Chain A
Amino acid sequence: MQKLFSLPSLIVIVLLIVALPFVQRPVVAAEVLTLGIAAVATNLLLGYTGMLSFGQALFFGVGAYCAGILTTKFGFSAFLAIPAAMLFSAVAAFLIGLVCVRRSGLYFIMITFAFNQMVFFIAYSWTTMTGGEDGLPGVRRPSIIDDQWSFYIFTVLVFVSALCVMKLFVNSPTGRILQAIRDNPDRAAATGHDVGRYKLIAFVMAGMFTGLAGAIFAFVFGIVPIDKIDWRFSGDIVFMTLLGGSGSFIGPVIGAAFYTWLQETVSQYWDRWPMILGIVFALVVLFFRTGIAGMAELVAGKLTHRRGAAKAKQMEAGS
């Protein structure tokens, strides 16, 4: 664990996990961690491979509906339904990825977005399974994690393991090749790497973990709302990732926390909170483009630089 994450990231993660359930209700804290998994997974594409997917709500929704349907309609235990939902999201990501990774740039954005909408319509029309517009209610937690604190601890365990696996993936040779593709796809291809195949791997990884996040989310509030598979939620995930900072591994988690806080606070006072959300998005893009993690690094960099400069001065004076 210590080798996997740098000390500052470790501190942020631990602080977040410990402080969250005291700042917010434990269910909301669990929601933050679930969205955090989704945002970090999305960043495997956005930050590590340079693929801007606008269809992540598709996998979040597939995971959530899969877990919800398996438990409510087929009597699966949550502990079986969650891995099954993950597998199902991975398969969905593989099939959709086969088509999407053929194109990049604007095309990739448009195609992922369009498939998101297609799956939304399937969820919307298949009312016997998904509950359609009203969502899928009645998703019960298993009895041993039924009360809010034990459920929170369960979410923490899933969150930490998901982060470790994704970090291992990023550090693996495959992860390195993905970063090479991000920096220069042509060069990566010229050195003999099958760019399409690696992009597909990244797409499946991101889809699978976003699906995991969705599966956990189904148990957070015990309902799968239809708007979690809507394309607007894909935009929200992109926002969390970018706001937290796509250049850092755990940055997106902070973005998810900020997003949830914003939504919780504003939606209490005003029905039209997406308006505020939109205004915040626009302001972030126009004036705050490095994200929170980027800002933190900048400040930290300045501090250490200053300290370094002071040391140099001392040395100079000493000599």
Chain B
Amino acid sequence: MTFLIASQLLNGLATGMLYALVGVGLTLVLGMLNIPNFAHGGLYAFGAYFTYTIVNLTGSFYLAVLIGPLLVILVAFVIESQGVRRLYAAHHDYQLLFLFAMALILQEAIILIWGPVGFSVLTPKALSGVVNLGFTVYPAYRLALIGMTVLITVALWLFLTRTNIGAIVRAGMENREMVAVLGTDINRVFMWTFALGAYLAGLAGGLATPIMGLTPSMGADMLPISFVIVVIAGLGSILGAIASGILIGIAQSMTTIWWPEASNIAIYVLMGLTIILRPQGLFGTR
């Protein structure tokens, strides 16, 4: 039993780190742009499918994970410049409807381009074995995934706290009017924040392919999870999004041990409890 719990903990940590990436991307966009980004799941799915295509073309998973998510930025630029930008001043209703439309279009586009059947991506050879951790043997790719996502999170953290652009982004999350008044081209900041959010979603999608595979509905499945992460964390909290991403991943994998059918429902119960006990979220201030 202890082994089972230990390896489920690791599984939860691995998916939780992916959730954290998606959640941080969403919280950046939500906190900065103040729009309900329903396209986030679709961008996650596109990251996965781009990665899949590049793996097939080049045979290199590493190259694919490097380039695939970057291509998602292009998709994000189109969505931002053609639609979202015209709607910053509009009501949430219209933003919501537009981004919901993007979610539909992205998912249907996946079916049109790649077909309705799912795929799987082989784990890169060097990471395809198992590692003996002493208390349990564990797939090497999942361990590497935890390592990679930790590195990405640290890099993102450094970017946001140690660079000028990062400072602008953080200031914009606090008070975007003030940032605009201080002479920053806020439209450019918005565009790049949207792109960064999309990149993080796409990156999570790419990294997830060897363990979760690809289906056209993968974006629609990830979307509610990413919203739950932001609600539990508190809107605009980056550290909170990381923490609650991991929390949700582990909560899900732990529920799987005792009551597999409820594992999908557990995270919403967690969300409900958070709102009742701490409406502003675990790390939120507003």
Contact = CB atoms under 8 A, between A and B. Distances in A.
B86 A118 contact: no
Interface residues of B, number: 43
Interface string B157-180: 000000000000000000000000
Majority-rule SS of A interface residues: helix
A143 to B, nearest CB: 38
Contacts of A238: 93, 96-97, 100
Interface in A252-297: 272, 274-275, 277-282, 284-286, 289
Contacts of A231: 220, 224
Interface of B: 30, 34-36, 38, 83, 86-87, 90, 92-94, 96-98, 100-105, 107-109, 111-112, 220, 224, 227-228, 230-231, 235, 261, 264-265, 268-269, 271-272, 275-276, 279
Interface stretch (A17-25, A101-109, A160-168): A101-109
Nearest to B37: A106
A103 B227 CA distance: 14
Interface in A103-149: 103, 105-107, 109-111, 113-115, 117-118, 121-122, 125
A232 interface: yes
A7 B103 CA distance: 39
A52 B92 contact: yes
B100 A235 contact: yes
B111 A272 contact: yes
Return the 3 tightest CB-CB contacts between A and B, nearest first: A278-B104, A118-B268, A281-B101
B105 A117 contact: no
Contact of A109 (B36, B98, B224, B272): B36
B112 A282 contact: no
Interface footprint category on A: 35 or more
A235 B231 contact: no
B228 A114 contact: yes
Majority-rule SS of B interface residues: helix
Name which of B38, B87, B112, B224 has the most chain A CB atoms within 10 A of its CB: B224
A207 B271 CA distance: 21
A278 B105 contact: yes
Contact of A275 (B112, B271, B276): B112
B276 A285 contact: no
Contacts of A285: 83, 87, 90, 94, 97-98, 101
A105 B220 CA distance: 22
Nearest to A236: B100
A274 B104 contact: yes
B108 A274 contact: yes
A246 interface: yes
A242 interface: yes
